Structure 1
Amino acid sequence: MSLNDLPLPSACDLAPLHTLGLVSQARALHVLERAEQLPAILQSGSGPLHILGGGSNLVPAAQVEGTVLKVELKGRTLLGEDEYAWYVAAAAGENWHEFVMWTLAQGWPGLENLALIPGTVGAAPIQNIGAYGVELKDRFCALTALSLEDGASCVFTPEQCAFGYRDSIFKQGQAGRWLISEVLFRLPKRWEAKLDYGDLAARLAGQTPTGQAVAEAVMAARSSKLPDPAQLGNAGSFFHNPIVSAELAADLASAHPGMPVFPQAGGQAKLAAGWLIEQAGWKGRRLGPVGMYEKQALVLVNHGGADASHVAALMAAVQADVLQRFGVALTPEPVWW
């Protein structure tokens, strides 16, 4: 494909293309519908290249420099199966939740705990999305990525992805170098419902825990806590749950009875960022047009008309208060453009 085959990029209002709904303009935007378009797009661009999926984990500047590339690669299929698992592939532009529900409709459970997470399939490995005791890495087999230097294709194994808590190599050493085009999942045939996290067991009391039933319980639980971005702009959980030493966690729990502490491997512990933020007085509190959600203090919401500067000011205020009260630093989850 040559440059002459590409539609001209156009200036674009990014507000409807990301879930926070911030005031934001891109100088140029391309839509990627086929992988073979990428080399020509790379040649045509100037300035930084920003990859946009569902926009659910994003804080864009009021004026985004360079080129935005909207990933609209589509397709999902069963590549094969053996006695242990189904191997299911999905293109990067597929809506994540719709893909999860499609796998369940085919009779392939395994992703149900990750239902209703916003975003696209291609973004899911970058963040190693997780919810209700399951992370993407638990069902991951491999992915294909395209080089942002020349468009060349490369396959990444689980080990090469270096998954961590809300982390992967695509956020660390390989950040900005690859565009994930397809993800392959391994969905187990010897499936067991995972209900030992949150209130899923209570919601499913008296029911047979099928994959579909678990997904419906997850959707109900998420909907009770998290606002619909179509109604109230948000990027989901705005801060990582901090990982601290077991000793610090024990000291904090002693000083603050009722503090949730989740033991981790290697002598560490995970704290609940939402609890810390709520105790610091930010649940339901606003700073200008943005605030922390009244039902879940971990979620930063846009009440209308906000831009990235408003988000940055609220983020800094919440971080400062949590650090002052607990001595714990909060790290934001979203990508900043």
Structure 2
Amino acid sequence: MCVTLKSLNTFGLNVNAHKIVIAHNEFDLLLLWKQSVQLNRPVLLLGRGSNVLFLEHYAGTVLLNRIRGISIREDDEAWYLHVGAGELWHDLVVYTLKKKIPGLENLALIPGYIGSASIHNIGAYGVELKNICEYVDVLQLDNGEKHRFSAVDCQFSYRNSIFKQYYRENYAIVAIGLRCKKSWQPVLNYGDLKYLDASYVTPYEIFNLVCTLRKNKLPDITKFGNAGSFFKNPIVDANILSKLQANYPNIPYYPQNNGQVKIYAGWLIDYCNLKGYTLGNVAVYEKQALILINIGYASGIEVAALAKYVRYKVAEKFAIWLEPEVRFIGAQGEINAVTALS
């Protein structure tokens, strides 16, 4: 058996898997996983495929987690949401705003499902999932046990979590819990949101501006396949920033709570004059250097080759090695992306 994954990866790569199965509840998830394992083939849990790069055909079963459902309770301090891993993230943002629940507006238009959001600790415009997450419910697939990880247990960090590091193979995220404070304060310290007036701005105004900004800088996925930001923004010590500022005084950065600073990977790539750079069927997007796009019938190997070229060019000029945000998938499962680009 051989089925296409072209509609299940936003790069639009023409790759196949041995089989695709869909789980709509926890019982199905366990059953389908066990059936797949019995075939002695690898199993890949997949959401929308908005943060993966298939380097070749996948030899195993792709298991789509589509466990849905949203429940809300509240007290005097906050709204508490319990959300199934198979809900689309942007749909949740829209849903909460319609319910007059603020807090997610900065994270509008981030693609993918809830489960993937917690794996990657998604973030945008000064807000990360860890700022609002209370817990993550996980199903241990080899024995059917269910575990609840508190936000502290999740070990959230920049584009990372314990699920990305240690709980990939035999665990599936089935739901997350979010806490949205009733004492809402707008987060306007990032990008063009700084021009909004904190005294009068509404969650809907932030949502609308974020949607406009993202639409203006992101390529139309129906025309140019991509996975959004391909590289993480590097976080460096303040002394490294000082050295960079000696040669590049206008380098933009974003202070971190621990005294380090985040440098914008897109700016580094752009400064290397790589916007619009083309390699085969892949290009650095001309409007946003952080995005690699499929401009034809690209293969995963071509995308990786361009990513490697960009990574080395940035390291050559700035002595900073960019790390991929995108997961790399080989025939047998996930492989180390940094190693693949070294």
Superposed, 1:71-220 pairs within 5 Å as 71-78=65-72, 80-202=73-195, 204=196, 208-220=200-212
Superposed, 1:1-337 pairs within 5 Å as 11-45=2-36, 46-78=40-72, 80-202=73-195, 204=196, 208-337=200-329
Alpha-carbon contact 2:66-2:86 (below 8 Å) kept: yes
SS of the aligned residue for 1:159 comes to coil
Q: What is the CA–CA distance in structure 1 between the aligned matches of 2:81 and 2:207, rounded to whole Å?
A: 18
* Higher mean C-alpha displacement, 265-274 vs 304-313: 265-274
Alpha-carbon contact 1:56-1:235 (below 8 Å) kept: yes
Counterpart residue number, 1:3 = none
Shift of 1:206: 10
SS of the aligned residue for 1:110 comes to coil
Cα 1:264–1:205 change in 2 (3 A) is closer
Alpha-carbon contact 1:38-1:151 (below 8 Å) kept: no
Alpha-carbon contact 1:23-1:62 (below 8 Å) kept: no
TM-score (norm 2): 0.92
Alpha-carbon contact 2:188-2:198 (below 8 Å) kept: no
TM-score (norm 1): 0.93
Alpha-carbon contact 2:186-2:198 (below 8 Å) kept: no
Q: What is the CA–CA distance in structure 2 between the aligned matches of 1:77 and 1:135, rounded to whole Å?
A: 21
Provide structure 2 residue ranges, at least 5 long, that are not aligned to the other structure. Answer: 330-342
Cα 1:335–1:206 change in 2 (3 A) is closer
Q: What is the CA–CA distance in structure 2 between the aligned matches of 1:142 and 1:222, rounded to whole Å?
A: 28
SS of the aligned residue for 2:27 comes to helix
SS of the aligned residue for 2:165 comes to coil
Shift of 1:43: 2.1
SS of the aligned residue for 2:266 comes to helix
Alpha-carbon contact 1:284-1:292 (below 8 Å) kept: yes
Counterpart residue number, 1:7 = none
* Higher mean C-alpha displacement, 56-65 vs 173-182: 173-182
Note the aligned Cα RMSD (angstroms).
1.5
Instruction: Give the percent of matched residue pairs that are identical in Structure 1 and Structure 2.
Output: 41
Alpha-carbon contact 1:42-1:150 (below 8 Å) kept: no
Q: What is the CA–CA distance in structure 2 between the aligned matches of 1:93 and 1:201, rounded to whole Å?
A: 33
Shift of 1:76: 1.2
Shift of 1:219: 0.3
SS of the aligned residue for 1:319 comes to helix
Q: Structure 1: which 4+ aligned runs deviate by more than 6 Å?
A: none
Q: What is the CA–CA distance in structure 2 between the aligned matches of 1:175 and 1:44, rounded to whole Å?
A: 18
Shift of 1:243: 1.4
Shift of 1:333: 0.5
Cα 1:207–1:305 change in 2 (3 A) is farther
Q: What is the CA–CA distance in structure 2 between the aligned matches of 1:97 and 1:316, rounded to whole Å?
A: 31
Shift of 1:41: 1.6
Matched to 1:85, the amino acid is A
Cα 1:120–1:260 change in 2 (3 A) is same
Q: What is the CA–CA distance in structure 2 between the aligned matches of 1:194 and 1:305, rounded to whole Å?
A: 40
Matched to 2:233, the amino acid is N
SS of the aligned residue for 2:178 comes to strand
Matched to 2:52, the amino acid is L
Alpha-carbon contact 2:29-2:65 (below 8 Å) kept: no
Matched to 2:104, the amino acid is L
Shift of 1:174: 2.2
Q: What is the CA–CA distance in structure 2 between the aligned matches of 1:201 and 1:248, rounded to whole Å?
A: 26
Q: What is the CA–CA distance in structure 2 between the aligned matches of 1:104 and 1:111, rounded to whole Å?
A: 8
**Can you list the C-alpha shifts for 1:160-210, whole angstroms capped at 9, x where unaligned?**
1000011100111223232111111101101011112111243x4699411
Matched to 1:289, the amino acid is N
